[in-house]
Amino acid sequence: MKQNNAKSAIKTTIAASLACLSPQLSTAHGEDGAHKTEDLGTTTVVARRALQDIGATTSELHTLSAESLRERGIYGVSDALATLPGVDVSSFSQPGNGQGVRIRGLRPQDTQFRIDGVRFTRRLGNFDSFIGQSFTTGLSRVELLKGSQAALYGSTANGGVVNLITQRGSQDRLSSISVEAGSFNSLSVTDVNSGSKGKLSYYLSSRFSTTDNDTYGDNSEAGGYDSDYVNLTTAFRLGYALSDDLELGITYRQMEGTVEGPQFGGSRSENDFSLGTIYADYRINDAWKTKLTLSYLMENSVFSDPFSKSHTDYDQFGIAWENAYQYSGAGSLSFGAEYENQDYRGFGATTGVKDHYFAVYLNHSYDFKNLTIDAGIRYEDYQSFGSHTSWKAGARYNLDKTNTVFTANVATGFNTPSLIQLYSPLDFGIAGNPNLDPETTFGWDIGVEQKLNENHSASIAFFETDIEDAIQRDFGAGLFANSSGKTKASGIEAAFIGDITPNVAYELSYTWLDRSLNDQPQQTAKANITYKPNSKTVLGLGAQYLDERSYGGNTLEDAFIVRAYGSYQLTDNVKFNARIENLTDTEYSHVDFTSSFGPGDSPARRLGVFGGVTINW
C-alpha cells in the first residue's frame, strides 16, 4: 500500500509539472477558471479562449501547477518556463534583473504574457523587468501554448502565449506561512489566506524576498552599486456566486521590486506593477458561456545610474468580452471583442503618448471521432498603425491502434513596435522612429506524440517561423528601422516523460535550432528526475545543458547546470524543504556586453544552498 501511494503521488507531480508532452499522462488537478473545480490534466482555457479538453488541442500545450513547481523548489515564473522544451530564458544578470522568454528560436517580443485574461506586452516601458521579477506566488498554474496564436490573442503572440491565473479561494479555510533562507543572504517569507463563506470565496497571498545575489571580480560588493534585489508580490481574488450560472469577482496583483547592477559604473532599477480586474462570468444556457472583464494595468519605473535618472509611466485600461458556444456535440465557436487604451510617458515622450486599439476574433472547432479541425481569425485596428488581420488553421488526428497523435498548424501573426522603439531618444546609440511599420510573421509546426507503453511517452515537433519587416537597430542611420527580406527561426524539439519504477519518474527534452534570432544556443537539453520513497518524502535532480550563445555580442561558452531539491512532510501541518542551485558550482555568464567602453560581463550565481519550512493551519 505504501508503494502504491508513492507511485500515485509521483505520477501526479510529474504530470502536473509537464502536462501535454503527452496529454494522455496529464493528471494534475486545479481550477477551470469558471464555476467549479476541474482536472488540469483534461481541461484548458488558453488553447481556444474557452474551456476544452486538452486532448482536442492542435497546438502544443504545457500546464504547470504552482503546487508542483513549489515541490521542486521553483518559485519564479521564468524559472518554471525554463524547464520546458523549446524555451530559452535569457537574463541581463542575476535574479531580479530583466529577463526574456524565447520560444522556438524567436525573440522575447514574440512571447505574449496574459494574467487573468489581461495581456502584458513589450509596449510596457520595462517589460523585461516584469518578467524577471514575477513569482508564482498567488498563481494556481502557469500555461504555455506554443506556436503563433495571433488569431486568438493578437500582437506579440508569434512564438506562443504564457497564461498566468490567480488562485481561487479554497472551499475550506486555509492559512499558511513559508520561510526560506540561504546563500547570498537570501530570505523569503510567503503567507497565504484562503477560504469561503457561503457564496463568497477569497484568496490573499504575499511574498517578500531579498538577496544580495552573487558577485565576482569587477561585479564585487565594492562601491555604491552591487547586485542587491528586494521584491514584494501580492495577489488577491474575491469571487461571489450570485447563482449557479453567474459569478462576479475581482482580482488584484501587485509587484514592487528594486534591483541593482554593478556593470558600467552601476545602476538601480525600481519597478512597480499593478493589475486589477473586475469580471462577470455567466452561463447563459447549457450551450453558451460568456465572460466580461474590465481591467486596469499600471507600471511606474525609475532607472538611475551615477550620471542620470529616468522615469517611465504606463497605464492601460481594457475591456474584454469572451464567449464560448457549443452549437452541437462536435462543433463549437469561440468569439469576442477587446478594447485597450494605453498611455505612455518617458523615454523621449515626457508629455505623454496615447494609443488605443479594438479587436474582434472568431474561432471554430469541430471534433470528429479521431480528428479535430480548428480555424480562427482576428481583426485588430490600432490608432497608431491602422488595421491588421491574422488567421490560424490546425488539425489533430488520433491513431488509436498505435496510440499515436499527429498535429499540424499554420498561422500568421504580427508585432507592433514597442514604445521604446518608437520614442526612445537613445537606446545604446539608437533613437526611436515613429514611422516604423509592424512586423508580420508566417509560421507552421508539425508534431507527433507517441505513447510507448503504459509508463512512457515521447513527442517530437518540427517548426519554422518567417518574420518580414523585422524591426532592428540601424547603426548607420542611428534609428530603429524595418529590415528588408525575411528573418527565420526553425528547428526540432523532442521530449520524453515516464516512470522508471513506481517511485522514480523522469522528464527529458532536447531542442535543436537550425536557425534562431538573437544568437540563441543551437542545442539545449533538459532533464529532471524525481524519487518518492514514500508519501512524505520527495527527492529530485534537475539538469540543463546550454550550447554556445552570444547574448550581448560576445560568445559565451557552453554550460552544464545541475540543481537538487527535496522536501519532507513532518506532520499534516509542517513541511520542510531544501534545494541546491548550481550544484556543480559551474562558472558561466548570462550575458557579455564587454567592449572598449568597459566590462559588461554578467556572471551567473555559483553554488547556493537554501532551506525552509511551511506551516499550515
- Domains detected in the chain: 2-616 (2.40.170.20)
Count CB atoms within 10 A of the CB of residue 42.
17
Provide the CB-side half-sphere exposure for 32 (13 A, CA): 14
Alpha carbons 7 and 499: distance in angstroms, whole number: 9
Q: Smallest Cα–Cα separation from 378: which of 391, 365, 395, 397? A: 391
Alpha carbons 336 and 293: distance in angstroms, whole number: 11
Would you state the pLDDT for residue 55?
Answer: 66
Alpha carbons 245 and 282: distance in angstroms, whole number: 6
Percent of the chain that is helix, strand, coil (3-state, to 5) = 10, 60, 30
b/e map 349-366, b = 16+ CB within 10 Å: beeebebbbebebbbbbe
Would you state the pLDDT for residue 265?
Answer: 74
Would you state the pLDDT for residue 98?
Answer: 87
Provide φ and ψ at 201, rounded to 5°: -120, 150
Would you state the pLDDT for residue 25?
Answer: 34
Alpha carbons 46 and 163: distance in angstroms, whole number: 7
* Farthest-apart Cα atoms in the chain, separation: 72
Beta strands in 475-600 (DSSP E): 479-482, 486-501, 504-515, 523-531, 537-546, 559-569, 574-581, 589-592
**C-alpha cell of residue 311:** 522615469
Helix (H, G, I), strand (E, B) or coil at 176: strand
Provide the CB-side half-sphere exposure for 228 (13 A, CA): 11
**C-alpha cell of residue 535:** 508519501
Q: Smallest Cα–Cα separation from 396: which of 126, 58, 170, 110? A: 58
Would you state the pLDDT for residue 596?
Answer: 62
Owner of C-alpha cell 517589460: 127
Would you state the pLDDT for residue 482?
Answer: 92
Would you state the pLDDT for residue 538?
Answer: 96
Name the residue type at position 1: M
Mean pLDDT, contiguous 10-residue spans, the chain (617 residues):
43 38 35 34 67 77 91 95 95 88 94 92 78 92 94 94 93 94 96 96 97 69 74 97 96 94 80 96 95 96 84 92 93 95 78 88 93 96 89 96 97 88 68 88 97 96 96 86 92 97 97 94 97 96 96 91 97 97 94 74 91 97
Helix (H, G, I), strand (E, B) or coil at 68: helix
